[in-house]
Amino acid sequence: MHLDELHDLSSKQRVKSLFAGSGSTESTKNKHMLIVRKTLAALEVIKRIPVLQPIGLKIIAKLQEIDSKLPLPYLIEARFHMQALRILTLRIVMKEFSARPSLRPTFNKAIVAYHKALKRALLSNPKRTDIIVLSEFVQVSYYAYEQRKLLNLANHGVLKILEMGKKAVDVLAPSNRVYIKQQKDIVSALKKMKNLD
């Protein structure tokens, strides 16, 4: 992957949407798709290397600039922040308590990115990418509930995240039984949080 490919793509696409631009040829669309796929594959590797994560976030910002209507770049950003959160949590397990103050801000960045992805996902007749966004948001909302003390999250914040998680799982559960248990877990967590609030 060459960053100049991504730069060329973003400069050509300031007016036209990446996948919905009128008048673009099939070969141009295929080239765009190839560049985006290569970029996403590179980002999957970069996110696992803490020292490279700032570079990865710059690349993600470029993807978001190319087409701000797609959920995928925001989903990738959220995954980056969640990976950073895992590393911080591991540092705390290893008794490196200086990492603790960074937990909540890092999680908040992940939630903001997930929320942006969720706003761009189709809730009626969701496609594969939309389902991934919805599914990950359900998981992260329950994670917020389970880890609220470690992350030092306010009850009203967790409640809001769970409410969004319920909307997401309510879209998924009717068409796939796999999500029924998660739906029950979210509903149960919501009840408990409402009693605390």
pLDDT digits (tens, 9 = 90+) for 67-84: 788 899 999 999 999 999
Other C-beta atoms lying within 10 Å of the C-beta of residue 148: 19
| pLDDT tens digits in sequence order for the chain, 197 residues long | 555 555 555 554 543 444 445 445 666 667 767 777 788 888 888 888 888 888 888 888 888 888 788 899 999 999 999 999 999 999 999 999 999 999 999 999 999 999 999 999 998 889 999 999 999 999 999 999 999 999 999 999 999 999 999 999 999 999 999 999 999 999 999 999 998 86
Predicted confidence (pLDDT) per residue in 88-107, tens digit: 999 999 999 999 999 999 99
Sign of the four-CA dihedral 142, 144, 147, 149: negative
CA dist., res. 47 & res. 148, Å (int): 24
The full set of domain ranges for the chain reads 32-120, 123-196
Three-state secondary-structure class, residue 149: coil
The residues, any chain, with a CB within 8 Å of residue 134's CB and separated by 6 or more, are: 118, 121, 123, 126, 168, 169, 171, 172
